[in-house]
Chains A and B, each alone.
Chain A
Amino acid sequence: MLTDPRGVVAGAFPSLLERFALMFCEPGERKGLRPGATPAFGARSFLHGALRGTFEIALPLALAAEVASNVLGETVREAASLESREAVRELASVVSGHLAGLLTPGENACRPSVPEVRVLDGAAWSALLHSEDSQIFMVEDQPVVVRLALERIAR
């Protein structure tokens, strides 16, 4: 029995972000967001096993640097640094790992791939933002987009 994916993301992501990077977020809206106005990192991993799908997360470079700073305990000044990129990849790994477990509780049948990170151009940022599978979270005035698209459930 599959738990509601949107509900799982909405319930799990704020807590995971807080524990991972000491950051607080709340649900946001697409309205007013201007994709492409600021460069962003996007990380993607694929869920495989009984449950198949795609997990993506995107956040502005400046916010990624804040995540890296909080994880490392020291200021990361360069937004597009390796530390920022790695922080986004690790955040994606942590969140996708937890979601996989929450979506198939008690089973041993769903596992995420190692996330890949890229810099999103305006079109990619916009597509992710407007995907029907995406959910928006706001860390103060900066958006985090989380997308979980499930393809198939094997029985």
Chain B
Amino acid sequence: MPTVGAQQPGRRPNRDNSGHADIRDEVLRVGVGRAIAHHGELLQGVFEGDDGRLHRSLITLPMVRLQALATFWPRPGRAIRTRPSKRPKAARAARLTLEHLGLRDAGGDLTIESAIPIGHGYGSSTADVVAAIRATAAASGIHLRPSTTSRLAVAAERASDAIACGDQAVLFAHREGRVLEYFGGEFPPLVILGFKADGAGPIDTLRLPPARYDSEEIQLFRVLRGLAQHAVRQQDPRLLGRVATVSAMISQRHLPKPAFEAIRQMADDCGACGVQVAHSGTLMGILLDATRPRNSATAADLARKLGDAGFKDITTFGLNAEGMLGS
């Protein structure tokens, strides 16, 4: 789980019965929040909610190795200043969090330190926003539920992804900031070979028109959702790999990735579980069953082949894989 904490001890705020802080007279302290990156999605499409309506939703592929760290430094006055400057979404997130906590008149400086590259589908913007929300909440001594954090994140940047849920497998309505289905736990163990095509430039996620899925695709998403739930329940990496592969194939009709077929072939040849893509970015990944022996040799071999084929930013990371924090 991402961490929330305080660097300087301060007086604990008083809380009313709703659990919200009543801290108008309290001194805010320095608060720290972290948020993880992701490596695109395992599944993205439109899915039926309990209301019978369709909701754009996704299953995020968490990438714990890359993180954003935000620090909230309280300062008199209502202004929120960010370092680096020009992080308006993070500033808005901090402001919305203060308002949510009943601290309308509070303000401060928000420092963001992030190792997450911008514009390639790693969710850098959402990580900044979620880290900012957590830092601001920590500054007032409050822990927020993932559902509250997600809702604030969507309010701050229009769309979000599921990283507020950490490494829990959920189907997340990213334009509404709420979970459509809790799959019931952590992901099956995977090792992911991540990469992107040479010359793939950054994509402004929010300026991308939303994909228009036809009714056959919409019905297929229903089946993929069911299979994802089974894969999580049974901790079956191969079935989750099938979900990701079919979702990536549908994505090819909307935001095609170069050399996709060659990647699929490469994945098949090495006995991988499947392939995944960032549905609104440039990232691709080959998914390996983390419980299989000789994975590091397979991963090294794949990395070499991908490099020879001209792919860039080749990286290996684990998802719920024992003994693997990534390279």
Chain A complexes with chain B: no
Interface residues of A (CB under 8 A from B): none
Interface residues of B (CB under 8 A from A): none
